C-alpha cells in the first residue's frame, strides 16, 4: 500500500483513502485531501520533511508522518 | 437568547478561509476608525468597525481570524468558531459575509456549506475571479446562488468592483432580518465524522462541476472547437497551481538554495531595520533635544523647567527615537507575509524546530518576537499543539524585541570606537544571534524537562497552505504597520510617561533646592554642583542603598540598579532613566551627550569608572536574558491560562540574566578586559 510520503518529486497519484489512525486526518480532509483527488509532490523541505503537495489547484505543506496517512491507489 | 433585531444595530461578521481575500474585503468595507477588540476572556484580536458611511448601511462589522472549517483545530480557530455561535459582547451575527477564492472553489466552499447548514444567513463573496478567468473559466453565480440558496457576488480585491453589488445584497438581507426572530445556530462540530466530511466534499465537488463554466467565446464558429479543448479542463477545472509560484518555489524552496535564500532574506530584513531607520532616528532625536534645550532656556533654572525638560521631554524622546525601527520591522514582516514567503519559511524551518519541541508554525511568532513579545505571543495561537504553543510562548521573551533596541543601541555605541563604526553593526548582529542561540538552548532544555514544566501533550501537526506568490498590497501593509505602531505607542506610551515622572521625582526630591557653597564657581559649575548634590541626597539614592549589595558583584552601582528596576516596566525605560539620572539636557543630541556622561561616570562605591567594557557587555548580557516587561508577563498569563508559565519565565530568565552577567563581568576582568 503506497502512501503520499513515498511519492517522488513531480510524481502524481490519486488518493484512495485517508487513514483515520492519524490524529490530523480530519484536518487533512478539510483542507482538501479527499479520496479521488489527484496529488503531486512538488517540493520537499531541506530535511525532506515537511513535503509540499499540489492539490485542488493549490500547494499544501504537511509533515512526512501526515503524508503517510494519505493512501494512494 | 432572543432579541429584536430592529431595535439594535445589526452585526455583520466577515468569515473566510486563510488566503481567501477576507482582509482585503474588510479594508474596503471598514471606515477609517476601526479598532481592535479582544474576544472577552481571551486575547484573540478582532477588528471591528461601522460600515463605511458611503455605503449607507447602519451595521457593525466584525472581522475574525481565518478558519477553514467550523471544526476548530487550534485555540485561535476555537475562539473564532465560538464567537460565531454567540459572541459574548455582540451576540450571534445577523449576517455572515463569507469569502471564497473562486479558483479554489471546492476547498473554500466547505466553510460556506457548513455555515449554511448551521442556519446562518450568509452572503458568499467570490474573490480572485481573474485567476479563474486566466484559465478560461468562470463561475455561474446565479446557478450557485440557486443551489446554495444564498446570495453570491463577485468582488475584485484589486479594483473593488462588485462592492456595490455586495452592499445591495447586504442591505436586502438586513431588511429581511427585521421581520424574523433571532435564531440559535445549529451546532455542528460534533457531528463532523469522516463520513460526513467526505460526503460534504463530494456534494461540493458536484456543485463546483455544475457552476464552473467556460467563458463564452464571442465567435460562435469557434465554439465547437473550444468545447473540445475545454472539455478535459472542465473535468478537473482548477487542478493546476499558479505556474509562476511553482517556478519560484523551485528556487525559494530548493533543498540547498532555499536555505541560502532564507538566511539572505532574514539578514536583509534585520540589517535594513538598522540602516533604513538610522536617518529617521536622528531626526526624532534632534527634534526632542531641541525641544528640551529650548524649554529649559525658556523657563530657566526652576523645578518646573527641570520637570519639563529632564522628566518629560527627554524621557519621551529617548523612547520615541526608536519608533522608526518598530515601524520598519512591522512593515517588513507585513510585506513578507503578504508576498506569501512567511509560510515557506515556516515550512523550511519546521523540521529543526520540531527537534527542540517547537513547530514550523512557531516561526512567525518567533519572528514577530523581534518586534514585540506581545503580538508574538498572540500569534502563537495558530499552533494547534498546546505543548508546542506553550513552549513557543515560553521562549518568545528571548527574541530580541524592539524595546531592547534603544538599550543595545546605547550600549553598543559606547563599545564602538569612533574610527570603527562597522564594529557596531557586527556587535548588534552578534547580540541578535546570541539571543536566538540562547532561545534554542533554552527550548531544548525545557523540552527535555517539559513534562514537568509544561503539562500538556497532544498531537503535533504541521499542515499549512503555501499561498501563491503575489505582489504585496502596499496600501494594506502600510495601514497595518501604522495601526501596529500606533497600538504600540498607546500601550507603551503611558507607562513610559508615568515612569519618567516617577524617576524624575525620585531623583529630584526631597532636596530640590540644595544648599551649596557657591563661592568662586561659575554659573554652569553651580548648576552642575546643585545637580550632583540633589541626586546624592535624593530618594533614588536612598533606594539605591538597598540595591547596592546586589549590584556590587556586577561592578555596577545603585544608579544602574535603579535604571534596571525601572526597566522592569518596559525595557526602553532603561535609557530614559539613565538620561534622567545623569541629568542629560545638552543642546546636542541626547544620545551622544548621554554617552559622554557615561564615559565620565565613576562608581560611587569604588571610585572606579562605572561604565567599562566589562560592565557594558555585562549589561547587554543582562538585557538578552532578563524578562523585564510587565506587559509581557500579563499577556503570558492570559495566553497560557495560569500564572505557572509567566512566573517560571520571570524566575528562570531573570536569574539566568543575573548569573550570566556576574560570570561575564568578572570573567572579563579576570582575563584583563576592564
Give the gap in angstroms from C-alpha A65 to the nearest C-alpha of chain B: 9
Residue B426, pLDDT > 70, answer yes
Q: Would you state the pLDDT for residue B2?
A: 42
Q: Would you state the pLDDT for residue A51?
A: 94
Of B201, B258, B466, the CB nearest to A34: B201
Residue B554, pLDDT > 80, answer yes
Residue of B nearest to A60 (CA): B465
What CATH topology corresponds to A4-72? Answer: SH3 type barrels. (2.30.30)
Angle of the B323-339 helix axis to the B474-508 helix axis, nearest 10: 150
Residue A27, pLDDT > 80, answer yes
Candidates B242, B261, B342; CA nearest to A46 is B261
* Strand order, beta sheet including B60-63: B35-38, B45-50, B60-63, B11-15, B95-101, B122-127, B151-154
Q: Would you state the pLDDT for residue B657?
A: 94
Residues of chain A in contact with residue B73, where contact means CB-CB under 8 angstroms, are 26-27
Q: What average pLDDT does this structure show over B62-75?
A: 82
Q: Do A26 and B71 touch (CB under 8 A)?
A: yes
Task: Retrieve residue B571's grid coordinates.
Answer: 525595557
Domain ranges of chain B: 5-230, 491-670
| A71 interfaces chain B, CB cutoff of 8 Å | no
Q: Do B197 and A35 touch (CB under 8 A)?
A: no
| A61 interfaces chain B, CB cutoff of 8 Å | yes
Q: Would you state the pLDDT for residue B40?
A: 46
Residues of chain A in contact with residue B463, where contact means CB-CB under 8 angstroms, are 24, 27-28, 31, 60-63, 66
Give the gap in angstroms from C-alpha B613 to the nearest C-alpha of chain A: 41
State how far the Cα of B347 lies from the Cα of A62, in Å rounded to an integer.
Answer: 8
Q: Do B238 and A56 touch (CB under 8 A)?
A: yes
Higher pLDDT, B381 or B658: B658
Q: Do A54 and B241 touch (CB under 8 A)?
A: yes
DSSP H/E element including B448: helix B422-448
Give the gap in angstroms from C-alpha A70 to the nearest C-alpha of chain B: 13
Q: Would you state the pLDDT for residue B4?
A: 46
Of A23, A35, A60, the CB nearest to B466: A60
pLDDT tens figures, B105-156: 889 999 999 999 888 889 999 998 888 888 788 899 999 999 999 999 999 8
Neighbours of B226 (CB within 10 A): 16
DSSP letter assigned to residue B30: B
Q: How many whole angstroms from its chain centre is CA B656?
A: 26
User: Domain B5-230 - what CATH class?
Assistant: alpha beta
Q: Would you state the pLDDT for residue B628?
A: 81
Residues of chain A in contact with residue B256, where contact means CB-CB under 8 angstroms, are 46
Residue B1, pLDDT > 60, answer no
Q: Do B241 and A61 touch (CB under 8 A)?
A: no
pLDDT tens figures, B182-230: 566 776 655 568 888 898 888 999 998 889 888 765 555 555 555 555 4
Average per-residue pLDDT for chain B: 80
Neighbours of A17 (CB within 10 A): 16
pLDDT tens figures, B475-532: 878 887 887 777 767 766 777 777 778 877 887 778 777 777 777 777 777 776 777 6
Give the gap in angstroms from C-alpha B200 to the nearest C-alpha of chain A: 10
Most confident of the following: A2-6, B133-137, B382-386, B477-481: A2-6
Phi first, then psi, for residue B187 (nearest 5°) are -80, 115
Q: Would you state the pLDDT for residue B585?
A: 53
Residue B319, pLDDT > 90, answer no
Residue of B nearest to A39 (CA): B239
pLDDT tens figures, B388-411: 888 999 999 999 887 788 889 889
Q: Would you state the pLDDT for residue B456?
A: 54
Domain ranges of chain A: 4-72
Of B110, B241, B351, the CB nearest to A45: B351
* ipTM value for the complex: 0.94
Give percent of chain B with pLDDT exceeding 90: 15
Q: What average pLDDT does this structure show over B57-76?
A: 82
State how far the Cα of B345 lies from the Cα of B365, in Å rounded to an integer.
Answer: 12
State how far the Cα of B337 lies from the Cα of B266, in Å rounded to an integer.
Answer: 13
Q: Is B183 left (phi over 0), alpha (psi -120 to 50) or beta?
A: beta
CB-based contacts of B417: which residues, under 8 Å, 6+ apart?
B423
CB-based contacts of A25: which residues, under 8 Å, 6+ apart?
A18, A19, A69, B194
Most confident of the following: B8-22, B31-45, B198-212: B198-212
Q: How many whole angstroms from its chain centre is CA B12?
A: 26
Q: Do A57 and B249 touch (CB under 8 A)?
A: no
Q: What average pLDDT does this structure show over B444-449?
A: 85
Q: For residue B413, what are the CA distances in angstroms to B30, B585, B628?
A: 44, 19, 22
Of B73, B239, B241, the CB nearest to A59: B241
| Beta bridge pairs of residue B122 | B96
Amino acid at each position: 500500500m503506497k502512501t503520499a510520503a513515498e511519492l517522488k518529486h513531480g510524481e502524481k497519484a490519486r488518493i484512495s483513502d485517508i487513514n483515520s489512525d492519524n490524529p490530523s486526518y480530519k484536518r487533512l480532509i478539510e483542507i482538501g485531501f479527499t479520496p479521488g483527488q489527484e496529488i503531486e509532490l512538488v517540493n520537499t523541505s531541506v530535511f525532506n520533511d515537511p513535503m509540499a503537495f499540489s492539490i485542488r489547484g493549490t500547494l499544501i505543506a504537511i509533515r512526512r508522518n501526515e503524508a503517510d496517512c494519505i493512501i494512494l491507489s | 437568547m432572543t432579541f429584536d433585531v430592529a431595535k439594535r444595530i445589526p452585526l455583520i461578521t466577515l468569515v473566510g478561509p486563510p488566503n481567501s481575500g477576507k482582509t482585503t474585503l474588510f479594508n474596503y468595507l471598514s471606515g477609517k476608525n476601526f479598532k481592535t477588540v479582544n474576544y472577552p476572556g481571551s486575547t484573540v484580536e478582532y477588528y471591528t468597525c461601522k460600515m463605511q458611511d458611503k455605503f449607507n448601511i447602519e451595521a457593525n462589522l466584525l472581522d475574525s481570524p481565518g478558519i477553514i472549517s467550523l471544526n476548530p483545530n487550534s485555540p485561535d480557530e476555537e475562539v473564532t468558531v465560538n464567537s460565531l455561535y454567540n459572541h459574548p459582547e455582540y451576540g450571534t451575527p445577523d449576517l455572515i459575509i463569507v469569502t471564497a477564492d473562486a479558483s479554489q472553489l471546492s476547498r473554500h466552499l466547505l466553510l460556506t456549506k457548513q455555515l449554511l447548514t448551521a442556519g446562518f444567513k450568509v452572503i458568499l463573496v467570490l474573490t480572485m475571479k481573474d485567476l479563474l478567468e486566466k484559465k478560461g473559466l468562470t463561475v455561474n453565480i446565479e446557478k450557485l446562488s440557486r443551489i446554495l440558496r444564498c446570495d453570491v457576488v463577485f468582488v475584485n480585491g484589486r479594483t473593488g468592483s462588485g462592492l456595490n453589488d455586495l452592499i445591495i445584497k447586504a442591505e436586502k438581507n438586513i431588511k429581511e432580518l427585521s421581520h424574523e426572530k433571532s435564531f440559535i445556530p445549529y451546532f455542528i462540530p460534533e457531528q463532523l465524522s469522516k463520513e460526513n466530511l467526505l460526503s460534504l466534499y463530494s456534494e461540493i465537488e458536484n456543485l463546483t462541476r455544475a457552476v464552473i463554466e467556460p467563458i463564452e467565446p464571442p465567435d460562435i464558429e469557434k465554439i465547437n472547437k473550444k468545447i473540445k479543448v475545454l472539455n478535459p479542463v472542465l473535468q478537473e477545472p482548477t487542478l493546476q497551481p499558479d505556474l509562476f509560484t511553482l517556478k519560484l518555489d523551485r528556487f525559494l524552496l530548493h533543498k540547498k538554495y532555499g536555505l541560502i535564500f532564507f538566511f539572505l532574506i532574514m539578514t536583509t530584513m534585520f540589517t535594513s531595520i538598522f540602516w533604513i531607520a538610522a536617518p529617521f532616528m536622528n531626526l526624532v532625536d534632534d527634534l526632542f533635544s531641541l525641544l528640551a534645550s529650548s524649554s529649559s532656556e525658556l523657563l530657566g533654572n526652576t523645578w518646573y523647567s527641570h520637570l519639563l525638560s529632564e522628566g518629560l521631554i527627554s524621557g519621551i524622546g529617548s523612547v520615541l527615537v526608536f519608533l522608526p525601527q518598530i515601524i520598519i520591522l512591522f512593515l517588513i514582516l507585513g510585506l513578507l507575509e503578504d508576498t506569501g514567503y512567511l509560510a515557506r519559511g515556516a515550512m523550511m524551518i519546521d523540521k529543526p524546530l520540531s527537534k527542540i519541541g517547537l513547530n514550523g508554525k512557531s516561526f512567525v511568532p518567533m519572528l514577530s518576537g523581534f518586534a514585540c513579545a506581545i503580538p508574538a505571543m498572540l500569534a502563537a495561537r495558530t499552533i494547534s499543539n498546546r505543548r508546542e504553543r506553550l513552549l513557543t510562548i515560553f521562549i518568545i521573551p528571548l527574541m530580541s524585541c524592539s524595546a531592547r533596541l534603544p538599550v543595545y543601541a546605547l550600549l553598543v555605541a559606547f563599545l564602538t570606537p569612533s574610527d570603527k563604526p562597522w564594529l557596531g553593526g557586527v556587535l548588534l548582529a552578534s547580540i541578535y544571534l546570541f539571543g536566538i542561540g540562547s532561545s534554542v538552548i533554552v527550548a531544548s532544555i525545557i523540552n527535555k524537562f517539559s513534562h514537568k514544566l509544561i503539562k500538556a501533550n497532544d498531537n503535533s501537526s504541521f499542515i499549512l497552505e503555501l499561498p501563491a506568490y503575489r505582489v504585496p498590497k502596499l496600501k494594506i501593509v502600510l495601514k497595518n504597520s501604522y495601526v501596529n505602531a500606533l497600538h504600540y505607542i498607546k500601550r507603551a506610551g503611558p507607562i513610559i510617561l508615568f515612569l519618567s515622572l516617577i524617576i524624575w521625582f525620585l531623583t529630584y526630591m526631597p532636596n530640590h533646592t540644595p544648599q551649596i557653597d557657591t563661592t568662586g564657581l561659575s554659573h554652569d559649575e553651580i548648576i552642575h554642583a546643585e545637580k550632583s548634590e540633589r541626586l546624592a541626597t535624593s530618594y533614588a539614592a536612598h533606594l539605591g542603598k538597598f540595591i547596592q549589595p546586589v549590584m556590587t558583584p556586577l561592578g555596577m552601582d545603585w544608579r544602574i540598579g535603579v535604571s534596571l528596576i525601572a526597566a522592569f516596566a518596559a525595557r526602553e525605560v532603561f535609557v530614559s532613566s539613565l538620561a534622567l539620572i545623569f541629568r542629560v539636557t545638552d543642546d546636542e543630541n541626547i544620545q551622544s551627550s548621554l554617552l559622554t556622561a557615561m564615559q565620565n561616570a565613576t562608581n560611587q562605591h569604588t571610585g572606579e569608572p562605572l561604565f567599562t567594557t566589562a560592565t557594558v557587555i555585562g549589561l547587554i548580557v543582562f538585557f538578552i536574558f532578563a524578562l523585564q516587561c510587565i506587559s509581557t508577563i500579563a499577556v503570558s498569563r492570559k495566553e497560557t491560562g495560569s500564572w505557572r508559565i509567566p512566573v517560571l519565565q520571570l524566575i528562570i530568565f531573570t536569574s539566568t540574566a543575573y548569573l550570566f552577567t556576574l560570570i561575564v563581568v568578572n570573567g572579563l576582568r579576570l582575563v584583563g578586559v576592564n
